Amino acid sequence: MTDIKGHAINKTFVFSETDNLYIKLIESGIDVTPLKKQLKVISAKIHNNKIGYARLESNIGIIKIIICPKIFEYDEKLFLSYLRQAFTLIERYKGCSKYFEIDKTLLNLAIANGKDDKNDKNDLNFDSMLESKFKMSLIEVDTFFKKYNKADIFKKSYVSATIENEVNIQASICDPIKSNVHQFKKLNTPETRLAEITLMVIEFFIRKNKNYLSPSLVSFARKIYAKVKQKYRVKRVKITISQFMHYSYEKSFNTDQKKRLLNNLLVLLSQEDFFNSSKGEGKLDRYTHSCSLFFEANIIFEYLVYDFLLCSYSSKEVKIKPRSYQLLYSKDNVEIGKIKSEPDFILDLNDSMIIVDAKWKVLNKLDSNFNYDVLKLKRDSQLFYADKIMLVYPKVNSEILNKSPVYFNNEPESLINIVQTDIMKS
């Protein structure tokens, strides 16, 4: 990986959610040709409201990309402070994580961050967070195989006209059809197959990251590899990355525990969303030599808004993700469906009810996007019989903010409160 002058690179670039990665890198003198696959994957994450960090690797250089929240200037230290604050809130409200549909990696990092010594928090950086992500997945992989008993090869009987395996002499003699030869064939248990897949992933993980990870983490990965290999008596791993990234292998992970194992193996390969988003592409079209750590910015913002609301109201008054339905009927009065309403929050007060939505947007003007936000919230308020509605943004144009609340010309009693909440606590 080189710049336009052919020099080897080891650089970090900080971008906003709204930046075009290709253009910005080209403007910085980087040849993006060998990075197209990696940048395609990262761009897809950004378009889905994700922020975070990626390390793109090659034999002759490294590019590190930081995707910063769109609501403040490009500043790596500020971004890390923002994430540290998010970790604190998520750890504090982890009992509510099911409502916010938070990414498991982010939840685990938040919990780990809460357990860290205060001195360690000062050393927080993206590489250390990436290593923490890998460590947590390795621990879960280790725990999975500790729970399973050793899975040996077992024998299964079958009948064939030709001798291919160990013969069951007694069954063959007793069979009136003398052309049938009863035999045993050796098969691996499903857990042995999972062990082989795991060994392949860990071996590839070590080979790919050993120059970037701490010696202690590499040693930990090797210990897990040795334990699984010995327990399942695997002599040689025959599965390849190409085979594993084929959809048929997903069928081996057919229980909740095994699906969790699959997710952790994909984490080690930095391909957490492979089986969810790569359908229709070649086996390795999305597989890249990169490592990444991305979070859903809108989910983090929901935690910030929840904390913001709890500063003024009690937890009993703040309802998270309430649901209501309205049935749809045909012209002949037959039920044909229903419309679901699920605002982010409801403030259920003694004298009123307020619908609240957290919007991860910069509100600079009251354009069509704002119109959509209002119309959705008005629909929610009708279904919940709410008195007021509130839209909370991370950043609002001061002129708009000063004119809040607003209302429609024929509904002066229906106020729309536009609120800005600080994403960084002092």
**Is residue 346 assigned to a domain?**
yes
| CB-side neighbour CA atoms (13 Å) of 301 | 24
Instruction: Give the closest residue to 402 by CA, choosing from 419, 422, 416.
Output: 419
Residue 386, in any domain of the structure: yes
DSSP letter string over 262-319?
HHHHHHHTT-TTHHHH-TTS-TTTT--SEEEEEEEHHHHHHHHHHHHHHTTS-TTTEE
Give domain status of residue 248, yes or no.
no
Do 194 and 232 form a contact (C-beta atoms < 8 A)? Answer: no
pLDDT at 49: 83
Q: What are the tens digits of pLDDT across the range 303-361?
A: 999 999 999 999 999 999 998 888 888 888 888 888 888 899 999 998 889 999 999 98
Please, is 381 exposed, middle or buried when counting C-beta atoms within 10 Å of its C-beta (0-12, 13-18, 19+)? buried
Q: What is the reported pLDDT for 190?
A: 60
**Could you say which of 164, 187, 210 is where a domain stops?**
187
Q: Domain range for residue 166?
A: 154-187
- Model-level pTM? 0.78
Tokens of 2: 């080189």
The pLDDT of residue 282 is 46
For residue 42, how many C-alpha atoms fall within 13 Å in the half-sphere facing its CB? 31
In terms of DSSP bridges, do strands 290-296 and 318-320 run parallel, antiparallel, or are they unpaired? Answer: unpaired
Looking up tokens 């991305």, which residue turns up? 294
Tell me whether residue 175 is in a domain.
yes
Contact 64, 13 (CB under 8 A): yes
Give the pLDDT confidence of 157-198 residue by residue, as tens digits. Answer: 545 656 556 566 666 656 666 667 666 555 455 678 888 899
The number of C-alpha atoms within 13 Å of 39 and in the hemisphere containing its C-beta is: 18
Structure tokens of 415?
């106020």
CB 82 within 8 A of CB 423: yes
Residue 103 lies in a domain: no
> Which CATH number covers residue 378?
3.90.320.10
* Domain finish residue from 138, 172, 187: 187
How many distinct structural domains can be found in the chain? 2
Q: Which stretches in the chain have pLDDT values below 50?
A: 1-7, 119, 151-156, 158, 187, 278-285
Residue 78 is assigned to a structural domain of this protein: no
Whether 403 is in a domain gets the answer yes
* pLDDT for 1: 42
Is residue 378 classed as helix, strand or coil in its secondary structure? helix
